[in-house]
Structures are given as C-alpha cells and as structure tokens.
C-alpha cells in the first residue's frame, strides 16, 4: 500500500501560537493558499481513498485535495485527530507551564490509536494508494511507527510543516519503505 501523509494548512491558531488539540481550527489565508498548492501537487497521484481527521483544519485541506480526485472515497475519522490537549486546549503555548501535571491524551493512547488506523486501513486497501490528512503530533507518531522506532523517537523528528508531504510504501512484513519525509517543495 502506498500511504501519503499530509498535514493541514496553516491555521489562524497556528499563527497566534494557540495549542489547538481538538479545536476545529480555521485555515488562515496562507493556509488556504498552501492547501491549493498541495492539491495541485497531488493532482496527478492516483489516490484511491482519502482519510482525514474530522477537525475542520484537516477536513478543509482534504476537501481541497479531493477536488482533483472525484473518484476517491473521502472519509472523516476521529482516529486521525491531533492529540487531545485536555484543559490546555486553546491556551497560548508560550504561557503553558509544561512542568505541571496535565490531563492530556497519553502518548501510549496516541500510539495505539495510530497503530489501529494503520492496521485497519492496510487490511482494507492493501494494494491501493491512501492519503491521510492529519496533524503534526499524530503524523510524528505515525511516522515513528512506520520507521519501526520506539514512541520516544517522535520527538527527534522535525515538526511536520503545514501541508508537508510524506510518502511510505507499506509492506506486510513491516519493512516499510520511506519515499519522502515532510516535503514542502510545492510551497516554493
């Protein structure tokens, strides 16, 4: 299975330094421009199915891509959501005291959520090209899994850029091939 991972376009909340978590997020003017460029970049890809986070910033990005893929099934799922940030949701990142205990989603829960959607989608679409539209934190977790690394490795990966593209060839034996990681050449 060919898996294309993309992050949503820039949001107003990204610009303001707000921790979004499960907030819907509103694409900024730059974010809208990024999604149009991303859609053009992917227009010649043979995409069979698009899975997107159901949060607006990702679903709006997915809908723009889907315009060039009218035969691709478009599914909005909670499994591709960003980390649930609990009571930190909506706060300015620079004002958060990260040393205090938090009621956020645990990394193990994100890992299980990411493993489950990868397993389920691979079973359904083994010989197809699948696009995931998601969020920076979950894309790092998915990438860590696909690289067969421990969950802590996600912190060593650079943050996925808005509309950054990663491509993997998924193999049954889990020796997945990395084709591309976090590429933003469409934004140049």
Give the active site residues.
8, 82
Query: Are 173 and 146 spatial neighbours (Cβ–Cβ below 8 Å)?
Result: no
SS3 content of the chain, % helix, strand, coil (to 5): 40, 20, 40
Query: Are 61 and 33 spatial neighbours (Cβ–Cβ below 8 Å)?
Result: no
Tell me the two tokens of residue 8: 């949503």
- C-alpha 144/C-alpha 155 separation (Å) is 9
Cα→Cα distances 132→17, 59, 169, Å: 24, 10, 14
């Amino acid at each position: 299975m060919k898996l294309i991972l993309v992050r949503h376009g820039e949001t107003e909340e990204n610009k303001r330094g707000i921790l979004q978590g499960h907030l819907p997020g509103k694409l900024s003017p730059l974010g809208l421009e990024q999604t149009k460029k991303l859609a053009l970049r992917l227009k010649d890809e043979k995409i069979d199915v698009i899975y997107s986070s159901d949060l607006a910033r990702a679903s709006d990005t997915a809908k723009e891509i889907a315009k060039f893929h009218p035969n691709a099934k478009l599914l909005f799922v909670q499994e591709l959501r960003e980390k649930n940030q609990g009571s930190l949701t909506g706060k300015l990142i620079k004002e958060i005291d990260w040393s205090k205990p938090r009621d956020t989603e645990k990394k193990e829960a994100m890992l299980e959520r990411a493993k489950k959607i990868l397993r389920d989608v691979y079973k359904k679409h083994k010989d197809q090209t699948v696009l995931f539209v998601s969020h920076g934190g979950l894309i790092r977790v998915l990438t860590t899994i696909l690289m067969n690394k421990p969950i802590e490795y996600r912190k060593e990966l650079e943050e996925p850029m808005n509309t950054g593209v990663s491509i993997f060839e998924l193999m049954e034996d889990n020796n997945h091939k990395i084709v591309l990681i976090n590429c933003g050449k469409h934004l140049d």
